[in-house]
Amino acid sequence: MTTTLAGGRAARRQTMRRIRPRRSPAVPLLLAVGAGAVAVLWLWWTNTPSIADTTGKIVAAGRITGLLAGYLMALVVLQMARVPALERRVGSDRVARWHAMSGRYTVSLVVAHVFLIMWGYARQAGKSLGDIVQQTVTSVTTLPDMGKAAIGTGLLFVIAFLSIGPVRRRLPYDGWYHVHLLTYASVFLTFWHQITTGNEFAVEPAAKTVWYGLYGVVTALVLWYRIITPVRLNLRHRMRVAAVVEETPGIVSVLISGRRLHRMGAEAGQFLRWRFLAPGMRFSSHPYSLSAAPRPDMLRITVKAIGDHSSRLRELEPGTRVWAEGPYGALTAQRRSRGKVLLVAGGVGITPMRALFETLPGAAGDITLLYRANSTQDLALWSELAKIADERGARLMYAVNSPDGERPDISAESLQRKIPDVDRHDVFMCGPPGFAQSVYDALRGAGVPARRIHHESFEM
């Protein structure tokens, strides 16, 4: 059985309609975030009297770290909301990095806030630094909403610990993913003490209204994009597994049928989060890229067996219900700024590159694909790629290990030999992190500007 899903000229026309001048929204977004932080600082400053003694300074420092932590908590949840404007324009991997960075800053500010505010309260009660634990217990048991805040803070610390690289790598993906969802509970539990015990919100009713508005908007976005939108998508398209086909040893393609799938808005280069409603897989949701241009009645993903979930895909039976969220990702034709394009794939990173190889508009010789694999037997979808290259007049190259295991040379010099005008190309990459970094360094050495090297990782 062939798994070829050819979109041909129709897919390229659809892609061309979506190409438009694209500016990264990162700078204006960061400016907006900075403006929000400045507003928080201004709120604290206008409600902080002149302080002469040390105790007052410690309490004031505890208040500002608490306000900034509360502001960043809202941003952390916003970055989890899968807002299309962020996921598709900024890129899912970039949003994930922002989320991780914001989380680290939030935890640091929460630690500083708890320590400073409890130390300040202890000093106000005539106690020493060593009495912070006792003061914390007293505050949690007597002040309004502090019990909930203590539970929420504890959850935040658990999530932070499990997100540390070495710890997270030891956890199953599904386990870490579901624990990470406790962030919502943590933020909910810690929100209320900000309103009831925060001095700024007690003396500034307008500030309380704005704070409710900030958290209300973020909550609405989470509900809309994480719950309502996926429910609407799956009720509308009613996807099921049509077939599972082995491409190469350890790599399978899953064909997914449904209604009016072309109206899903998915583009070549994007991915969805897939949940297969089969025994033992119902509670697992994993990101897999489309490996062919979407068709009105069919989507396809191609997956390498590297974990429990991906290994079980070959066992899926036709007719199995599929639940999907997305599409996500910014590795699309909209990033293109030059006529010539080089696609670089490492291993199963070929999946989004295969879809782009078929759909990116271009004349003969404009599109080049370089495919890195361990051996020729590992070149998944090779017959499809060869057919596309032949039909389009595109260039198709592969780089595999030699019989004695020596790795191929992918350096600035070798790229310039194979593609003399590589510095005038846009480059799209997908592959393991180490491979992507080495190719990125080679491309930069060959004169390709960083702004024209497009890469998206789904590791986070």
Buried b (16+ CB within 10 A) or exposed e, 289-303: bbbbbbbeebbbbbb
pTM beyond 0.85:
no
Q: Write the CB contacts of 11 (distance below 8 Å, at least 6 apart in sequence).
A: 268, 293, 358, 359
Class of domain 238-328 (CATH, top level): mainly beta
Alpha-carbon span 372 to 382, nearest angstrom: 12
pLDDT score, position 22: 47
Alpha-carbon span 15 to 362, nearest angstrom: 11
Alpha-carbon span 382 to 369, nearest angstrom: 11
* Pick from 152, 145, 150: nearest CA to 192: 145
Note whether 238-328 and 335-455 share their fold.
no
* 388 sits in which H/E element: helix 382-392
The domain segmentation of the chain, as residue ranges, is 26-227, 238-328, 335-455
CATH of domain 335-455: 3.40.50.80
pLDDT score, position 16: 44
Buried b (16+ CB within 10 A) or exposed e, 409-438: ebebeebbeebeebeebbbbbbbeeebbeb
pLDDT score, position 404: 83
Give 158-179 pLDDT, tens digit per residue.
999 998 888 888 888 778 888 8
Q: Do residues 107 and 160 touch, judged by C-beta distance below 8 A?
A: yes
Q: Write the CB contacts of 210 (distance below 8 Å, at least 6 apart in sequence).
A: none
pLDDT score, position 24: 55
Q: How many residues does the chain have?
A: 460
Strand order in the sheet with 395-399: 395-399, 367-372, 340-346, 425-430, 453-455
Residue ranges for the chain with pLDDT beneath 70: 1-26, 457-460
Give 306-317 pLDDT, tens digit per residue.
877 888 999 999
Axis-axis angle for helices 54-78, 205-222 (nearest 10): 30
pLDDT score, position 142: 92
Q: Do residues 428 and 454 touch, judged by C-beta distance below 8 A?
A: yes
pLDDT score, position 438: 93
Alpha-carbon span 424 to 392, nearest angstrom: 20
Q: Which residues pair with 22 in a beta bridge?
A: none
- Tokens 């499809």, residue located: 384
pLDDT score, position 9: 52
